[in-house]
Amino acid sequence: MLAYRLLIIFLSPVILLYFLWGSLRNQQPRYFWQRTGLSFNKLPSNALWIHCASVGEVITVMPLVNTIIQNRSARNQLALPIIITTNTVTGAKIVRQQQLENLHHTYLPFDWGFAVKAFLHQLKPVALFVVETEIWPNLFYYCHKNQCPVTLINARLSIKTTQARPWIKAIIKTTLQYADAIYTRSEMDLSAFKEIGADKYKLHFGGNLKFCKKPEPARENIIKIHRDYMLAASTHHNEELQISERWFKLNRSELLFLAPRHPERCSAITRQLKQLNPQLNIAVHSQHHGVDKNTDVYILDTVGELIHYFAEAKLVIMGGSFVPIGGHNILEPAQFGCAIICGPYMNNFSDEKELLLAKNALLQLSSMDELESTLKQLLADDQRRSQLAENAKRVSQGFNHIVTTYVQLIEAVIH
């Protein structure tokens, strides 16, 4: 732990510059003040605290938050303030979109001891629930010291973590000693936590919250697409270009719908596509462009709205899986009965991938080179496409008990 603390002190100038840059770039002063632990104004004390790294974790945990709020209302209990912390601006946007009474957001202070202590001293949260893999040594230590229980929910460990250098694994093992309980998303993750040295008596299998259907956010900015479309979801750098190159070779009548994981890349994507073909007619969501018969490409460059466009998609290509990112949550389109294609890089969602593959509810390609022929075959075979979609929807149903399990866990801790 001493080595870790010396390391973050040494890196502090770089970290501070990063927070300042993020604050200026997003025109959000509170990002800097909250990440540095210097200001947490207008936040309630004695709240339930849930930490989510970014967008995916916020979306994952929202069924829990909604159920907790509904349960307390049904029992005529006093409303419990809930604070969700995130590391990213995009995660913050998703929290704000929920528009739930007694739900608050702040950025997680970086893992300097003084910043964490300032947060705990001012807000005095009743308990901390950390979603998935955010294991911060000072955060866990000072929560434990201040009698704020720490529970990991939907917990997972990546292959990269389990194969890390011994000194990193030693820090993780020490940090996990300050957790009160760890509820993993899979038996494989439970074994990984055991292997890294977590106390076996604190380990439990909770189930994967990503299997649970997510509530749809507000629909104010939804634009109706009055055409068939093929949706490339949560794409990353160069995926849009590579997908587009193969798509236009097919000369299909459907619209190509691109939803980049990072919407701020929209201008760069547009430039790449125009270099591919200067005559392309590209519509951009944030610019309120409509779609007509002449539109070639539609770019969804906003956060939190992708979920509204899965249901009508003729086919979904999951981004982050044809480049070494690790993929994104294929269960979201599955819940809407989509035929889904992914690439070889799905290590962040290996359990979900294996589940869908086993039920013939997903096509996984070994490389981008296979995409053109697969699209051609699948779009020409309505029966095959419909079967994939039906199988995906069937797999995604029946997991609501997982929400109940975690809600009961949370209510037991905070009572």
Q: What is the full DSSP assignment across 121-190?
A: HHH--SEEEEETT---HHHHHHHHHTT--EEEEEE---HHHHTS-HHHHHHHHHHHTT-SEEEESSHHHH
Q: Which residues of the chain have pLDDT under 50?
A: none
- Looking only at Cα atoms, what is the longest distance across the chain? 63
- CATH architecture classification, 229-396: 3-Layer(aba) Sandwich (3.40)
> Which residues is 86 bridged to in the sheet?
107
Do residues 305 and 323 lie in contact, with contact meaning Cβ atoms separated by under 8 Å?
no
For residue 98, the SS3 value is coil
User: What's the CA gap between 162 and 178, in Å, rounded?
Assistant: 19
Tokens representing residue 247 in the block: 């798509």
Same fold, 32-212+400-414 and 229-396: yes
User: What's the CA gap between 86 and 95, in Å, rounded?
Assistant: 9
Give the pLDDT score at 213: 66
Give the pLDDT score at 34: 96
Do residues 348 and 318 lie in contact, with contact meaning Cβ atoms separated by under 8 Å?
no
Closest by Cα among 303, 319, 169, 312 to 241: 319
Domain ranges across the chain: 32-212+400-414, 229-396
Closest by Cα among 115, 111, 119, 58 to 88: 58
Distances (CA, A) of 113 to 8, 18, 139: 10, 19, 8
> Which CATH number, 3.30.1490.20, 3.40.50.11720, 3.40.630.30, 3.40.250.10, labels domain 32-212+400-414?
3.40.50.11720
Q: Would strands 229-235 and 255-260 be described as parallel, antiparallel, or unpaired? A: parallel
Give the pLDDT score at 159: 80
User: What's the CA gap between 224 and 11, in Å, rounded?
Assistant: 47
